[in-house]
């Protein structure tokens, strides 16, 4: 079954609206793990609007000794050090997550909203990918379901891609859904032929997840915003179980 990685950015966003450490992100990560989550994802940005470098360090300490729980740190590989932020790659090197997902975020983006254009970034990404893989970190690229781009990405020696599912979620319930879903299926099939694993994420929720999870070669989904919203109404433990159930139906 497809693994479920919970993105906890929004827990830190709530915490940062007040002084102190409430809610505590490590305690909420533990709740997710105790109730069946397969991994924890965080996306530290230079402005530290939610996840902070200390959070990444503490979560790494929590997860490292726990068998079969993945720690995934995602972000802009070109984000440099600024105002207490050590730089994205430097933070990843320090904390050694199981997986690093490289995302083409600019500093002023509200959220991730597009995948890498490999034609533009291949030469810049290649040494970063090599640097991370030499540390034993699995490398994933945040990408759109564009087969030409995926073929180019495969030449960089990546382990996985994370399919950007925003357009799929936006098209849910409309006549635009089927061609978008088909493109994701084709992209996943191509990845399988190239021996690249497939992750997915962005705006997946309890309504649209099972359909997407029917895609072959889908190894992992990363879900944050909708999961935290559902946790408010049903409780975090129940939300983990509901998302695991949705994945099983896929």
Please, are residues 23 and 15 in contact by the beta-carbon 8 Å criterion? yes
Q: Known catalytic residue: 74?
A: yes
Q: Which of 74, 144, 162, 220 is catalytic?
A: 74
Known catalytic membership, residue 90:
no
Q: Which of 43, 70, 144, 184 is catalytic?
A: 43
- H/E run at residue 3: strand 3-7
CB 105 within 8 A of CB 121: no
> What is the distance between the alpha carbons of residues 145 and 148, in angstroms, rounded to a whole number?
9
Choose, from 28, 50, 184, 202, the residue flagged as catalytic: 202
Active site residue 114: no
**Buried b vs exposed e over 123-159: b needs ≥16 C-beta within 10 Å?**
eebeebbeebeeeebbbbbbbbbbeebbebbbebebb
Q: Which residues does 23 contact at the CB level (< 8 Å), separation at least 6? A: 11, 14, 15
All residues at 6 or more sequence positions from 138 whose CB lies less than 8 Å from its CB, including other chains: 98, 99, 100, 159, 160
Known catalytic residues are 43, 74, 202
């Amino acid at each position: 079954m497809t693994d479920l990685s919970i993105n906890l950015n929004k827990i830190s966003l709530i915490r940062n609206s007040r002084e102190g450490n409430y809610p505590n992100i490590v305690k909420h990560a533990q709740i997710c793990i105790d109730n069946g989550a397969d991994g924890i994802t965080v996306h530290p940005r230079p402005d530290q609007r939610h996840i902070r470098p200390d959070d990444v360090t503490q979560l790494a300490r929590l997860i490292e000794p726990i068998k079969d729980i993945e720690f995934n740190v995602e972000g802009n590989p070109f984000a440099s050090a600024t105002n207490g932020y050590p730089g994205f790659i430097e933070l990843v090197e320090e904390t050694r997550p199981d997986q690093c997902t490289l995302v083409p975020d600019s500093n002023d983006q509200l959220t991730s909203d597009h995948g890498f254009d490999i034609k533009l970034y291949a030469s810049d990404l290649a040494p970063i990918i090599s640097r991370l893989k030499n540390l034993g970190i699995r490398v994933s690229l945040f990408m759109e379901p564009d087969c030409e781009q995926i073929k180019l990405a495969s030449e960089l020696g990546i382990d996985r891609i994370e399919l950007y599912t925003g357009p799929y979620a936006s098209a849910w319930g409309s006549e635009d859904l089927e061609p978008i879903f088909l493109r994701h299926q084709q992209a996943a099939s191509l990845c399988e032929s190239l021996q690249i694993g497939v992750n997915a994420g962005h705006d997946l929720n309890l309504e649209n997840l099972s359909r997407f999870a029917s895609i072959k070669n889908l190894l992992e989904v990363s879900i944050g915003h909708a999961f935290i919203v559902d946790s408010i109404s049903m409780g975090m433990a129940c939300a983990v179980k509901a998302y695991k159930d949705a994945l099983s139906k896929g």
